[in-house]
């Protein structure tokens, strides 16, 4: 029996590694030949956090602009989010504001972590770590983490941190967490 089901969304440009991140987190595998997501993909993972049995529902949105019409419906009910960029691709970092405004335009208020991906390619870095930290703070985001889906570095930390933020936010705002019985 789950104590809570937590819905989270992952947003970012094409090629930032959203699907690769999910595969690493869900199956603990790295697949460098992931097919691009068309529209939206959905994965779940059972998780024990501080003795609480949780089900994490993760919605992976395609990074192509042509699918943006779908986002408002899928953002509904989210309790947390991850905004991703590739540390070796300045354009993906530049578009973080666009993705954040998509969430804000739909009156969604939930904890969001800014995530710099492809940490294993640090020698090709275009966005310094300090800039990511500064931007996350200036945008009012709830955290900043860099990770590597290839090595697995900081993947568990990312999702544990986000789940804790979602649970804390739900308690602080007395926001209802979807119970399993309500979903059936």
Q: Which domains does the chain have, with CATH numbers?
A: 4-183 (3.40.50.300)
Extended beta strands in the chain, E state: 4-12, 40-49, 52-61, 80-86, 112-117, 143-146
Per-residue confidence (pLDDT) for residue 179, from 0 to 100 = 41
Q: pTM surpassing 0.75?
A: yes
Per-residue confidence (pLDDT) for residue 107, from 0 to 100 = 67
Summarize the chain as % helix, strand, coil (round to 5). 40, 25, 35
Euclidean distance between CA atoms 149 and 167, whole angstroms: 25
Mean local confidence (pLDDT), 38-48: 79
Rg (alpha carbons) of the chain, rounded to whole number = 16
């Amino acid at each position: 029996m789950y104590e809570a089901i937590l819905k989270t969304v992952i947003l970012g440009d094409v090629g930032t590694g959203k699907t690769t991140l999910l595969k690493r987190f869900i199956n603990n595998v790295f697949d460098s030949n992931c097919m691009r997501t068309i529209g939206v993909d959905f994965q779940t993972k059972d998780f024990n956090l501080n003795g609480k049995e949780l089900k994490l529902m993760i919605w992976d949105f395609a990074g192509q602009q042509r699918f943006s019409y779908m986002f408002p419906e899928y953002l509904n009910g989210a309790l947390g989010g991850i905004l991703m960029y590739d540390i070796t691709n300045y354009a993906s970092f530049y578009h973080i504001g666009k993705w954040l405004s998509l969430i804000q335009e739909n009156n969604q208020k939930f904890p969001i972590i800014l995530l710099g991906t492809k940490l294993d390619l640090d020698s090709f870095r275009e966005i310094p770590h300090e800039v990511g930290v500064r931007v996350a703070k200036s945008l009012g985001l709830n955290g900043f983490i860099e990770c590597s889906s290839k090595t697995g570095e900081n993947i568990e930390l990312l999702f544990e941190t986000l789940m804790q933020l979602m649970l804390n936010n739900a308690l602080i705002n007395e926001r209802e967490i979807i119970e399993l019985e309500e979903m059936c």
